[in-house]
């Protein structure tokens, strides 16, 4: 799926803001995405602002179509044109709405007075829509890609993604995500891309998107959502928090959002607000500190609830004009149970890192006392990261800061969320941050060129605990160049293959990887589904040579960026400031990471690239049952026996190398088709030849 259209701004435009430009006539500038912003038209060798009174909804539809941004979501005045901000276009558009480009719309001299800088035009386009629902705020999710609308596959669709879409469409929050073709089947293509949102993004374009290795998807497995609907009188929202279920309270009245002020706000009122937002029980009612107080209009002054009401409109409330009789009224806030979140911080990607929980409006860590694979499995499941490969302890991914929320976690592995597991009371522990727990999940992915210099060699992908080759079928130099850019190995790459036939017995994960010009990451490129033996001839393996070289410190990269590997340490995981990992690492590796929220996170904690391994992971694993594709389902991993004997040569599979001796001579790799790891360590994670 392609998400961007890249056009050059005409020379001399003087526009340094993020913008999307159609060939020669229109652009959107200053928005929060390439498909939103103030409208500017290129006329007589300069960009000119367009007055809101000279630009209507039909013109907005044409602009969005021309910019390949889908359909118009909103068009409104943008009072941001100060005196001297640049010229203003002196024409008025008369679009019918079906034009392919704005240059085809008739124009005329404005009938009203000449436009000034007092009011510009802001357009927000969207590539997303809901179809076949009874309202505009429910239906099957469709996405526009290069002018073609298609159904979004539901394979990774979850409530966090749905919340972001509902908010973006002005439809409140997601109440449910029905499956099974609830809103019928589409007729166009099915996009297999997956969104990885945490729920706080303004639109889906801010979420990490992956398509690599996605399985085929049919119209009957379409993503769908039922949103709460547009804001109405006495709708409630929470702002300024870390989720949609915590923050300062605002109510919607007379077409605008207003603050709620009170001097006696408590749990009864907070409970009603949480119930109205479908955010579970209230955990706290509070008064925001001065820096977090609102500055907009006041919606209500004083709210008195019994606690059982369905929403705040049923409580005794006062209008903003009503003056308090006593006390000092201040902004009010609430923390609902639905605000709880889990993430893996300071790791090598979305699916590996230090375990962290968002509770009571603050992020905190987890103590490693009794931390094991069952606990880690719950975290991986919550994050959509498959099964657990390792439960790490002793601050493997660096020491966190602030609160330690959980200690003595004892999950069965079947719980829906980590906080459903038995544990000590919130915040009660006898730990320090040097005991922070970590997790490595089976969906952790990485990319490298297997060679001593890291910028040339056999292309490999790390997935489900194993390094595997990438087949060269359908691959172009464009894909090779994207790999080089992602590994910080220059901006051009050249694909090479060997002419010598040899049967390929090692893992080859992917085939038919086809990256386009608009793909900004290897992980966004469509390909055949994951399979252990995607190609069986060594002549099919992709080898890439980049035009740049890595720094002497080496690097490792993932969808979160490039990870530098330090030399001269025997530890499998290292944690210098933001310069991570890899004992004696010599590979350049790219790991799958989020790009909008965690971009500044340390990438410490990658498994060793070529050195020994050390740590206090509780158990090694083996995947005993491969699925139809040859990939063991993440939920079928089992523990290796503690008494597993030393590996014999015939037992060493593709995920076990001769380095097994440094893991105390034990392993669980009975055959090349297993997903085995050595007991106690994932020594070979980044080392297979």
Per residue in 539-571, pLDDT (tens digit) is: 999 999 999 876 544 444 454 444 443 333 222
Report residue 438's pLDDT band, with 50, 70 and 90 as the boundaries. very high
* DSSP one-letter code for 641: P
Which range, of 23-32, 78-87, 334-343, 380-389, averages the lowest pLDDT? 78-87
Judge whether residue 631 has pLDDT over 50: no
Judge whether residue 607 has pLDDT over 60: no
Which range, of 52-56, 110-114, 332-336, 490-494, averages the lowest pLDDT? 110-114
Judge whether residue 229 has pLDDT over 90: yes
Judge whether residue 378 has pLDDT over 80: yes
Do residues 259 and 188 make contact, with C-beta atoms less than 8 angstroms apart? no
Which range, of 160-164, 402-406, 583-587, averages the lowest pLDDT? 583-587
Under DSSP, is residue 165 helix (H, G, I), strand (E, B) or coil? helix
Judge whether residue 614 has pLDDT over 50: no
Per residue in 307-353, pLDDT (tens digit) is: 999 999 899 887 665 554 445 678 999 999 999 999 998 876 789 99
Report residue 250's pLDDT band, with 50, 70 and 90 as the boundaries. very high
Per residue in 448-467, pLDDT (tens digit) is: 998 878 899 999 999 998 99
Judge whether residue 651 has pLDDT over 80: no
Report residue 512's pLDDT band, with 50, 70 and 90 as the boundaries. very high
Instruction: Give the per-residue pLDDT at 72.
Output: 93
Report residue 77's pLDDT band, with 50, 70 and 90 as the boundaries. confident
Instruction: Give the per-residue pLDDT at 389.
Output: 93
Report residue 474's pLDDT band, with 50, 70 and 90 as the boundaries. very high
Neighbours of 390 (CB within 10 A): 28
Q: If you count them, how many residues does the chain have? A: 689
Which range, of 2-6, 177-181, 563-567, 598-602, averages the lowest pLDDT? 598-602
Instruction: Give the per-residue pLDDT at 499.
Output: 78
Instruction: Give the per-residue pLDDT at 331.
Output: 93
153-165 core/surface letters (b: 16 or more CB in 10 A; e: else): bbebbbbbbbbbb
Which range, of 241-245, 424-428, 443-447, 570-574, averages the lowest pLDDT? 570-574
Share of the chain above pLDDT 70, in %: 73
Instruction: Give the per-residue pLDDT at 117.
Output: 57
Judge whether residue 263 has pLDDT over 90: no
Which range, of 3-12, 141-150, 471-480, averages the lowest pLDDT? 3-12
**Which of 502, 501, 485 has the alpha carbon at shortest distance from 449?**
485
Neighbours of 553 (CB within 10 A): 11
Instruction: Give the per-residue pLDDT at 103.
Output: 87
Under DSSP, is residue 541 helix (H, G, I), strand (E, B) or coil? strand
Q: Where are the alpha helices (DSSP H) in 260-391?
A: 267-276, 373-382
Distance from C-alpha of 29 to C-alpha of 669, rounded to nearest angstrom: 56
202-214 core/surface letters (b: 16 or more CB in 10 A; e: else): ebbbbbbbbbbbb
Q: Two tokens at 533?
A: 């033996």
Neighbours of 111 (CB within 10 A): 8
Under DSSP, is residue 464 helix (H, G, I), strand (E, B) or coil? coil
Instruction: Give the per-residue pLDDT at 599.
Output: 28
Q: In Å, how far from its chain's centre is CA 365?
A: 21
- Taking CA atoms, 46 is separated from 372, 498, 525, in Å, by 63, 53, 37
Instruction: Give the per-residue pLDDT at 10.
Output: 36
Which one is predicted more confidently, 215 or 611? 215
Instruction: Give the per-residue pLDDT at 570.
Output: 25
Do residues 446 and 591 make contact, with C-beta atoms less than 8 angstroms apart? yes
């Amino acid at each position: 799926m392609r998400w961007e259209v890249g056009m050059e701004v005409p020379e001399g435009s003087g526009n340094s803001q993020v913008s999307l430009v159609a060939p020669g006539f229109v652009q959107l500038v200053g928005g929060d995405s390439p498909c939103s912003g103030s409208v500017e038209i290129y006329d007589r060798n300069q960009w000119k602002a367009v007055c809101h009174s000279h630009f209507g909804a039909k013109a907005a539809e044409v602009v969005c179509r021309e910019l390949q941004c889908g359909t118009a979501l909103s068009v409104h005045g943008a009072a941001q044109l100060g005196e001297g901000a640049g010229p203003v276009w002196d024409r008025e558009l008369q679009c019918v709405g079906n034009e392919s480009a704005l240059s085809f719309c008739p124009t005329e001299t404005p009938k009203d007075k000449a436009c000034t800088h007092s009011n510009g035009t802001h357009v927000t386009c969207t590539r997303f829509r809901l179809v076949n629902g009874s309202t505009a705020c429910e239906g099957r999710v469709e996405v526009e890609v290069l002018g073609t609308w298609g159904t979004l596959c539901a394979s990774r669709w979850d409530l966090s993604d749905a919340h972001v879409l509902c908010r973006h469409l002005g439809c409140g929050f997601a109440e449910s995500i029905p499956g099974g073709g609830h809103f019928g089947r589409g007729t166009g293509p099915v996009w297999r891309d997956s969104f990885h949102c945490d729920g706080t993004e303004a639109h889906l374009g801010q979420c990490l998107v992956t398509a690599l290795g996605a399985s085929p998807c049919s119209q009957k497995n379409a993503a769908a959502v039922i949103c709460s609907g547009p804001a109405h009188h006495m709708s409630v929202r929470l702002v300024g928090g870390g989720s949609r279920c915590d923050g300062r309270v605002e109510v919607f009245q007379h077409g605008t959002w207003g603050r709620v002020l009170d001097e006696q706000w408590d749990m009864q009122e907070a409970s009603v607000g949480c119930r109205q937002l479908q955010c579970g029980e209230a955990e706290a009612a509070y008064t925001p500190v001065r820096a977090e107080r609102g500055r907009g209009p006041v919606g209500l002054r004083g709210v008195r609830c019994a606690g059982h009401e369905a929403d705040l409109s049923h409580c005794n409330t006062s209008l903003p004009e009503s003056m308090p009789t006593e006390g000092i009224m201040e902004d009010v806030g609430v923390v609902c149970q639905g605000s709880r979140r889990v993430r893996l911080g300071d790791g090598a990607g979305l699916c590996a890192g230090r375990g962290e929980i968002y509770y009571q409006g603050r992020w905190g860590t987890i103590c490693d006392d009794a931390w094991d694979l069952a606990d880690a499995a719950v975290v991986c499941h919550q994050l959509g990261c498959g099964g657990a490969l390792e439960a790490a302890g002793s601050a493997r991914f660096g020491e966190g800061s602030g609160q330690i929320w959980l200690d003595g976690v004892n999950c069965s592995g079947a719980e829906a969320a980590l906080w459903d597991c038995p544990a000590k009371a919130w915040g009660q522990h006898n730990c320090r941050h040097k005991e922070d727990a970590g997790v490595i999940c089976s969906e952790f992915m990485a990319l490298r060129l297997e060679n001593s210099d890291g910028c040339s060699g056999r292309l490999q992908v790390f997935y489900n605990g194993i390094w595997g080759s990438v087949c060269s079928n359908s691959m172009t130099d464009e894909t090779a160049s994207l790999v080089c850019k992602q590994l910080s190995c220059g901006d051009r790459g050249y694909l090479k293959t060997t002419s010598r036939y040899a049967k390929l017995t090692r893992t080859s994960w992917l085939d038919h990887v086809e990256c386009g010009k608009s793909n900004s990451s290897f992980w966004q490129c469509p390909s055949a589904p994951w399979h252990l033996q995607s190609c069986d001839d060594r002549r099919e393996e992709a080898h890439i040579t980049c035009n740049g070289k890595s720094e002497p410190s080496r690097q490792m990269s993932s969808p979160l960026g490039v990870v530098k590997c330090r030399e001269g340490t025997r530890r499998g995981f290292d944690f210098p400031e933001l310069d991570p990992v890899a004992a004696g690492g010599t590979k350049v590796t790219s790991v799958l990471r989020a790009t909008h929220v965690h971009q500044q996170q340390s990438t410490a904690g990658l498994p060793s690239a070529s050195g020994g391994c050390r740590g206090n992971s509780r158990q090694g694993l083996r995947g005993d049952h491969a699925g139809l594709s040859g990939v063991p389902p993440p939920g079928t991993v089992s523990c290796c026996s503690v008494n597993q004997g030393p590996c014999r040569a015939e037992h060493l599979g593709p995920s076990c190398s001769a380095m097994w001796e440094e893991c105390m001579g034990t392993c669980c790799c009975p055959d090349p088709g297993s997903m085995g790891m050595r007991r106690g360590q994932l020594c070979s994670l980044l080392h297979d030849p």
